[in-house]
Structure formats: structure tokens, C-alpha cells
Amino acid sequence: MNAEDFPTPDAEVELVTPERLKQRIDDGEPVTILDARMSGDYEEWHIDGENVESVNVPYFHFLDEELDSDIIADVPDDREVTVLCAKGGASEFVAGTLVERGYDVHQLEDGMNGWARIYETVEVTGYDGAGTLLQYQRPSSGCLGYLLYDDGEAAVIDPLRAFTERYLDDVAEPSSASPTSQARQDADEFGVDLKYALDTHIHADHVSGVRELDAEGVEGVIPAAAVDRGITDADELTTAADGDTFEVGDATIETVATPGHTTGMTSYLVDESLLATGDGLFVESVARPDLEEGDEGAPEAARTLYESLRERVLTLPDDTLVGGAHFSDAAVPADDGSYTAPVGQLVEEMDALTMDEDDFVETVLSDMPPRPANYEEIIATNLGQNTVDDDEAFTLELGPNNCAASRESLAGD
């Protein structure tokens, strides 16, 4: 049903913004959610957290003239409840129905679509290279990106198309991206030039923003090793080969080939302090190897990943930070709130990083989650083979990222 198909409730329903709900969860407040989407959508992707109680009651149950008492019994009546759906239409009707029956409820503005538009930044304070490094975090899908800026120049790694304007706004006034950082209160930090937008690989879970930023005058960079996958406009973008460098103020970003998750998987070593590993290595797991060549090619890709990790990542100094392109519910943030960890810490915590090759391959292939929703169409879009507008691109990538090899954390508890 479309939003206009639902009866308009007589009761007035209070809206809560996605940002406010996220803040309540972050602050540790008890939050109760009634998710009115279909059960399949709910099971694939919903708002979760240690202090979150989530109940799924699909909206159609509330369309009956006489509500089933068993259905109502599943809705808590002794506390405030946040009702949500996909876009806000069904939840307005459900919330209004409950208000009319005396429940203390409010509605999440724009539903899960609104939740997917939350994009936060934290400063990576453990970064000790030149300039300032921010980590972008998208809680709805666990997507991570990075903004480095120094001496009037900036680069963004793994930008999302949905937030193209956000990157441009942040470099226009970078202090607004992380207001808690005193470093960005200085007048000379305002208004930097976004020089580069770099992708680590052909993403399968979200639509890249490299092309849109390139169209805005930013130099779009893609891995040279990914071109053979069928990128249609590679000649219009800059290609980064292993060992290539990009200067951002006094900082240097070095290209490091780390195939495995995909044949073109590339990491970027940010001023010898943080390795942006894309989907090769996360703080809680390693990459899944089946999104390019499928199940048949996954074992060989896992062996390639093993080699990349052993020879290109774990050979870095132990204090080099690792920052992936994703985090999951199993990930534990660092003290600064970023999803980063030193190489040495990951080696201590993640058994997969000290296994022999055969055990590593077996572990990686043993517990992979479902592939990301719409991943084939997203890959085609990121190759330039598929053209979608902004709304279609946003809809394609809704849902969990599922780019890690395991459903659970491989790094301890």
C-alpha cells in the first residue's frame, strides 16, 4: 500500500526525528520500537541496540475493524513506543490507531528511509599523520568513509552518492563536521579544496559517490586493478595503481593493492598512520570473498585475501590504524568513537589473522551472511553500466551491508 492508501487517523501523532531517536539510543535510554513493516523486511534489517526493545507487528493487522487482542498484547502499554515503517505512511496510521486506544506512542519521521539518511562524523584522534582525519558513519547500513584535510586541501575515501552534497558542505566549513574538535575552530581550517574522491573497490552494497563528486570538479579516483571488471568510463576518471600517491596538503595517501574481497580491492595508507582497507579487513571481521566470482570463485578469492592480509596489511607497524569501509552490530568502537583499531590489536583479537591458509579459507567460507540486497544492480551501477537517478540509487542500497565474512565478530567477544 502507498501512504495515501491508509486511512487518516483522527488522533494527532507526535513525530520524532531519526536524529533524536539515534541520540536516545546512543545515550543509553531505554527505547521501545514497534516496527510495522512486513516480517521479511524486518528480519533482514531493523533498528537494534543494547537498550532497544523491538517488536514487529505488520501494519495490515491494524486494518481490521476489530483489532485482534493477541496482536495488541504484543504492543507494550506501560511505556513510550516509537512506531516506524518504511517511509512513514503505514506508521502514521498504526500510531494513530494506538493513540486512539490510549497508548503512549509517537512516529519515526520518514521511517527507515529517514534512518538511512543519518550520517555522522567523528574525529579519528588516534591518527597521528599530517592534517585531520574524520570518519563518516552511516548507522543504518554500517557504511564508513573518511575525510582527510590539511593545509587547505582535502580527500574523501569511499564516498556515498547519497551524501555528495554533504562532503562538499563539510569541506566548505570543516569545523561543522566535528564540532567537538578544537582543531577545527581555527580560522585557517575553514574552506578547503576537496581535491580527491577515492574508491577502494567496486562496492556491492551502496552506490559510490565518486562520479558525482568528479562532476563537481573533484578528481575521482578508482583502482586501476578494477578497470578490467568492465568499468565503462574509466578513461574519464583517474586510476590508482599499487604504489601511486596522492598529496593532500602535507599528507600523503599511498595506494596499496589488497585483492581478495574483489580482484580490484585497494587500500589507501593515509600518511603512514591509517590504512583505509575498504572491505578487505574490518575491526571485527575479514572480507567475504564471493561477491565478484560467486560461490565457485570464493575459495580462490579467499586465498588471495589471505595473501593480501599477510603480505600487505600485517607487515605494517603494529600501531598503524586499520579503518574499514563498514562496521557491524558486532563491532566495538575505539575510545574516540571511531571504528578503527591498530594492526597489532587486531592480530591479538582476531584468530583468523594468525591461522594458516587452509584454516583461514575454511573459516571465511563457513558462516557468510546473505549477499547484500540488490548487489548485482549496485555493482552494475558502480561499474557505470547501469544508470539510475538519485532516488533509485538511494532505494537500491537500503538495508544491511553484509560485506563481512561472518555473521558474528571474529575479533573476540
Q: What is the pLDDT of residues 306-332, one digit of tens each?
A: 999 999 999 999 999 999 999 988 899
Q: Which residue has the higher pLDDT, 16 or 403?
A: 16
Q: Is residue 401 part of a domain?
A: no
Least confident stretch, 4-8, 31-35, 110-114, 351-355: 4-8
The last residue of a domain, from among 95, 115, 135: 115
C-alpha to C-alpha distance for 115 and 300, rounded to whole angstroms? 37
Task: For residue 371, name the pLDDT band (cuts at 50, 70, 90).
Answer: confident
DSSP-derived letter for residue 234 is G
Same domain for 145 and 288, yes or no, is yes
Q: Is residue 402 part of a domain?
A: no
Task: For residue 177, name the pLDDT band (cuts at 50, 70, 90).
Answer: low
Same domain for 38 and 79, yes or no, is yes
Q: Is residue 412 part of a domain?
A: no
Range of the domain at 209: 120-396
Amino acid at 299: P
C-alpha to C-alpha distance for 284 and 267, rounded to whole angstroms? 17
How many domains does the chain fold into? 2
Sheet hosting strand 219-223, strand order edge to edge:
120-123, 132-138, 143-150, 153-157, 193-198, 219-223, 238-240
pTM: predicted TM-score of the whole model, two decimal places: 0.91
Q: Which residue has the higher pLDDT, 175 or 166?
A: 166
Q: Which residue has the higher pLDDT, 44 or 197?
A: 197
Same domain for 227 and 375, yes or no, is yes
Q: Answer whether residue 188 shows pLDDT above 60.
A: no
Task: For residue 179, name the pLDDT band (cuts at 50, 70, 90).
Answer: very low
Residue 301 pLDDT: 95
Same domain for 102 and 147, yes or no, is no
Residue 130 pLDDT: 97
